[in-house]
Amino acid sequence: MASTPPPSTALSSIGPVPFKDVAGAGGEGHRGVPPPEEFSGTVAAMPTTNMLGFKLHRHQDTWVVDACLTGVLSVQRRFAPRPGDVVLASPPKCGTTWLKALAFAVMARAAYPPSLASNEEHPLLRLNPHACVPFLEELFTVGQEAKLELLPSPRLINTHMHHSLLPPSLTGNPDCKIVYVCREPKDMVVSLWHFAKSIMPEGSKHTFSDLFEDACKGETPSGPIWDHTLGYWRASKAHPDRVLFLKYEEMLLDRAGAVRELARFLGVPFSAAEEAQGMPADIVGLCSIETMKGLSANRTGVAGLLGFKHESFFRKGVAGDWANHMTLEMARRFDDIVEDKLRGSGLTFKP
């Protein structure tokens, strides 16, 4: 568990507001945005590969999905953090949507108490979590980064970028915080498979085995997964006051504890009165996959540059589903690869 930092005046101000309420729609429908002229030469020189038909570019030893590549480059050059910014970081399909909901509910609870759930006034009951917390690379890809300036501080933002890709103005900033969530790598691969299938063309010949082989090579969106995780792990060890490292499986085992840890790290711990009211448990219930899956906002609509259906963000939300998709031989092979890559770091995904 992270140590409790002193309360942050920035984080205890008015709190985040739903991004869509102040900025309108994000990057939905902006598929195939051509690279700005300033990046055209850089992009053309990058090695590429394909994962299940999705184009990936090799940038600074990471694999970046084509749809967000120019956004990543733009973030590196132009993102200007504000004091109090909170960045939610994760590899794809590792608990991003849940973390967005939990962080928003925790930080905005003064303006939007979870008790509003009873009359459907809470933003998380009328908006998809991705409409509440903007995706950094997407906004920069479609040239809508100015919308971030419409948000009051503290801003809540998310990214799939490796720690090594983030600008030093963020990673070296003592007035900004990063919350990182990762997942058991085999479960990440299975979740990525189901997510990718949701937008594959009808009749696609791609199989789970294809994705598994790509994952073993580290060739997945924002991969390699082990490098992504190690970067934030090491940052959390070097700067525990600025980077909180969470594991999805541990959060599932103690959901109220994870909410409390998140609140403490962000400088807005629950008061004795809030604890007596059961607020941590209320936030857990509000953000549960059971609640989220039943909402009309999450059964209709799309999110992101590739137009993923909102419902595709809410499948099972469990640990261990890899056993329903991988043979024991596949599991051992992948475990051996990950263990080798993490060796000596102190990080493990073994039970």
Supply the DSSP string of 76-130, one letter for each residue. Answer: HHH----TT-EEEE--TTSSHHHHHHHHHHHHTTTTS-GGGGGGT-SHHHHS-HH
- What H or E segment, with its residue span, contains residue 43? helix 37-44
> Given 59, 160, 228, 325, which residue is catalytic?
160
CB 154 within 8 A of CB 84: yes
CA pair distance 72, 76, nearest whole angstrom: 6
CA distance 129 to 104: 8
77 φ, ψ to 5°?
-90, -35
Residue 239 known to be catalytic: no
CA distance 185 to 89: 16
Residues 136, 65: contact at Cβ < 8 Å?
Answer: no
Catalytic sites, residue numbers? 160
